[in-house]
Chain A
Amino acid sequence: MLRKELNELLTRTGPGTPMGELFRQYWIPALLAEELPENDCPPVRVKLLSERMVAFRDSEGRYGLIDEFCAHRGASLWFGRNEGSGLRCPYHGWKYDVTGQCVEVPSEADNSSFCENVQLTSYPLVKIGDVLWTYMGDAATRPLLPEFEWVHVPPEQTYTSKRWQQCNWLQAFEGGIDSSHVTFLHSGGLKNDPLFKGAKGNEYNLNDTKPFFEVADSDGGLFVGARRNAEEGKYYWRITPWVMPAFTMVPPRGDHPVHGHFWVPIDDENCWTYSFDYHPVRALTEAERQAMIDGHGVHSKNIPGTYRPVANMDNDYLIDREAQKRGETYSGVAGIAMQDASLQESMGPIVDRSRERLVPADSGIIKARQKLRKAAIALRDEGVTPPGVDPAHHRVRSAAVVLPQAESFLDSCRDAVKVTPGVPQASV
């Protein structure tokens, strides 16, 4: 249960809101690098944190993320001509560079300095891995670039997709730290999904439907440990890291690639779910990469040319009650990603958390909300830099391990949850 005013605080991310200002302390994914594949390619509309922008890649390969609308008459620059190191509004020819600076106003005299005074809002756009990252906060407090392992391993070891999710970012994100739903909602995937199946850990998952949880602070957010029975005298632990504000990783299974998410608010009723898979020490196989492209694992099969899942709310997620009855899927919806999204979207655009009935197993969610709230208020009232801004906080991993019952996962997995280049993930 969360009081209505706290729910408002945590879910609203537009300019000037406490949570919006919190998000503006971080580098966040703005779009996939594949969306701007070459110099002078078509611009792309981007909406983040309730701000409408357009992204483009100029003739020199520089990336720009600027106000979507021309300063002249307010036409969308999505219709712009990306040419000659700038984006030109097709209406009257005003042209902008990647910083949003107007560099040409054709109706003015050749030696006019008018355009020097015309500057659209712009944000930096930087390619790291397969993702173009932006920072939408005060330039004076711009942090160092992100160091998440998934965007720093060689290209052949990583794959990232994204999908549009039609609900507030918080209810999508909360699924990422909610380990107890896996045994139910994703039980079919543990048996069938090519990116999940075959791991010894899956047996522990399926044999013990009542996990125990330990939730502990980390420098950047939280570690959520889910514990299930293993062999006599041992526990199977799945450790999920959360780095504030919205990065989560899924504990690995066998030698499958490691996966996770970055949840990015589009506006208060929509978000982007970035989903990634990477292997710390080897290239993804062709079969693994194809499975990801086909929407297996944490990825979704999207409508070609869009980032909207093929199964979506407009077609009832292609629910298959017969597959549900046969036990192939638990909910009737196919695919891990859409199993999550279908239920999270069913809650409504912004779920009313004042009506929840949480249980102790939801402690990770309770604690995460508390950390977000405290960080947003400390930033607003005292200017405190929140956890997760420091790139050192990004160098975490998820882990899946079997430990003697007496051992603490925090003590035993200190190295396993840290990024160590050249060392494989801790996985069962």
Chain B
Amino acid sequence: MTTATLHLSESARAASASESRFRIDVPIAPARAARVVALDERAASVARRLAERPWAHARFYTGGGVRDGGGLLHELDGAAAPLDEVLTGSDVVVVLATEDGGRAAAAAIGRFCSRHGITTAGVVLGDGFEADDAVAALRPYARVLLLSADESDAFELLTALRV
């Protein structure tokens, strides 16, 4: 395996560790106006734990009041607001589900986001497939569905998205 090269090409020089020092290093502003919506009780518990972390623009809701065609989302302290009001202006909606109870809400949120160009991600937590219907309801709309037994995946996703 050769490693030494006397006359580096532009690509070789640019990819070197020493050249990494010259990468522009300015603070990266949080890019996402995120809404996190928990569709059921267990998901709401996860959302409450997530909400305790420091986030830039993420806001957390429960979606029990959402029905076809609209309805209300509730902030974690209980304050209600219409779905369209909450989601308008966001650019990513992360839906949390642990069971099938939130199927109608999942579909309504998915449809709204699809119509308004809002990226939707679903995090479905659980060991089994208790949320099959919620997954099926989200599938047509969610850019990504993360099926996981690990609650911390929701945190990792939000962190990676810089919300």
Residue A34 lies at the interface, judged by CB distance under 8 Å to chain B = no
> B147 touches which one: A314, A356, A410 (CB < 8 A)?
A410
Q: How far is the CA of A402 from the CA of B23 in the complex (A)?
A: 44
Residue B79 lies at the interface, judged by CB distance under 8 Å to chain A = no
Mask, B1-39, CB within 8 Å of A = 1, is 110010011111011110110010100100100000000
Number of interface residues of B (CB under 8 A): 44
Residue A217 lies at the interface, judged by CB distance under 8 Å to chain B = yes
Q: How far is the CA of A370 from the CA of B157 in the complex (A)?
A: 10
The dominant DSSP class at the A interface is mixed
Residue B121 lies at the interface, judged by CB distance under 8 Å to chain A = yes
Name the B residues within 8 Å of A308 (CB-CB): 1-2
- Say whether B146 contacts A363, CB under 8 Å: yes
Residue B92 lies at the interface, judged by CB distance under 8 Å to chain A = yes
- Say whether B11 contacts A346, CB under 8 Å: yes
Chain B residue at smallest Cβ distance from A211: B143
Given known A215-B147, A316-B11, A360-B161, contact A269–B1 (CB-CB < 8 A):
no
- Say whether B132 contacts A361, CB under 8 Å: no
Given known A363-B146, A366-B156, contact A345–B162 (CB-CB < 8 A):
no
Name the A residues within 8 Å of B15 (CB-CB): 166-167, 313, 345-349
Name the B residues within 8 Å of A144 (CB-CB): none
Residue A139 lies at the interface, judged by CB distance under 8 Å to chain B = no
- Say whether A359 contacts B119, CB under 8 Å: yes
Name the B residues within 8 Å of A369 (CB-CB): 156
Name the A residues within 8 Å of B160 (CB-CB): 1-2, 356, 358, 362, 366
Name the B residues within 8 Å of A317 (CB-CB): 11
- Say whether A367 contacts B148, CB under 8 Å: yes
Name the B residues within 8 Å of A370 (CB-CB): 150, 152-153, 156
Residue A326 lies at the interface, judged by CB distance under 8 Å to chain B = no
Q: How far is the CA of A346 from the CA of B10 in the complex (A)?
A: 11
Of B20, B152, B156, chain A has the most CB atoms within 10 Å of the CB of B156
Would you give the shortest CB distance from B90 to chain A, in whole angstroms? 13
Residue A405 lies at the interface, judged by CB distance under 8 Å to chain B = yes
Would you give the shortest CB distance from A254 to chain B, in whole angstroms? 26
Chain A residue at smallest Cβ distance from B161: A358
Name the A residues within 8 Å of B152 (CB-CB): 370
Would you give the shortest CB distance from A150 to chain B, in whole angstroms? 24
Q: How far is the CA of A348 from the CA of B11 in the complex (A)?
A: 10
Name the A residues within 8 Å of B106 (CB-CB): none
> B28 touches which one: A266, A313, A357, A410 (CB < 8 A)?
A357
Q: How far is the CA of A338 from the CA of B29 in the complex (A)?
A: 33
The dominant DSSP class at the B interface is mixed
Name the A residues within 8 Å of B119 (CB-CB): 359-360
Residue A323 lies at the interface, judged by CB distance under 8 Å to chain B = no
Q: How far is the CA of A316 from the CA of B161 in the complex (A)?
A: 32
Name the A residues within 8 Å of B16 (CB-CB): 348-349
Given known A359-B119, A367-B153, contact A348–B144 (CB-CB < 8 A):
no
Kindly specify which of B40-48, B63-71, B134-142 makes contact with the partner chain. B134-142
Chain A residue at smallest Cβ distance from B94: A360
- Say whether B147 contacts A360, CB under 8 Å: no
Residue A212 lies at the interface, judged by CB distance under 8 Å to chain B = yes
- Say whether B143 contacts A361, CB under 8 Å: yes
Residue B159 lies at the interface, judged by CB distance under 8 Å to chain A = yes
Name the A residues within 8 Å of B2 (CB-CB): 306, 308
Chain B residue at smallest Cβ distance from A346: B15
- Say whether B12 contacts A314, CB under 8 Å: yes
Of A45, A215, A350, A360, chain B has the most CB atoms within 10 Å of the CB of A360
Name the A residues within 8 Å of B120 (CB-CB): 360
Name the A residues within 8 Å of B9 (CB-CB): 313-316
- Say whether A217 contacts B162, CB under 8 Å: no
Name the B residues within 8 Å of A236 (CB-CB): none
Name the A residues within 8 Å of B31 (CB-CB): 357
Given known A316-B11, A366-B160, contact A217–B144 (CB-CB < 8 A):
no
Name the B residues within 8 Å of A363 (CB-CB): 121, 144, 146, 157
Name the A residues within 8 Å of B92 (CB-CB): 360
Would you give the shortest CB distance from B8 to chain A, in whole angstroms? 7
Q: How far is the CA of A310 from the CA of B139 in the complex (A)?
A: 43
- Say whether B162 contacts A357, CB under 8 Å: yes
Mask, A364-379, CB within 8 Å of B = 1, is 0011011000100000
- Say whether A355 contacts B28, CB under 8 Å: yes
Q: How far is the CA of A370 from the CA of B151 in the complex (A)?
A: 11
Name the A residues within 8 Å of B135 (CB-CB): 408
> B12 touches which one: A313, A347, A357, A410 (CB < 8 A)?
A313
Given known A212-B143, A358-B161, A405-B140, contact A217–B11 (CB-CB < 8 A):
no
* Residues in chain B within 8 A of chain A (CB atoms): 1-2, 5, 8-12, 14-17, 19-20, 23, 25, 28, 31, 92, 119-121, 132, 135-136, 139-140, 142-150, 152-153, 156-157, 159-162
Can you offer 6 A-B residue contacts whose CB atoms are under 8 A?
A164-B1, A166-B15, A212-B144, A349-B16, A352-B23, A366-B153
Task: Beyond A215-B148, A308-B2, A361-B143, list 17 extra A-B contacts (CB 8 Å).
Answer: A166-B15, A167-B15, A213-B143, A217-B147, A313-B12, A316-B9, A348-B20, A349-B16, A358-B162, A360-B119, A360-B143, A363-B157, A374-B150, A405-B140, A406-B136, A408-B135, A410-B147
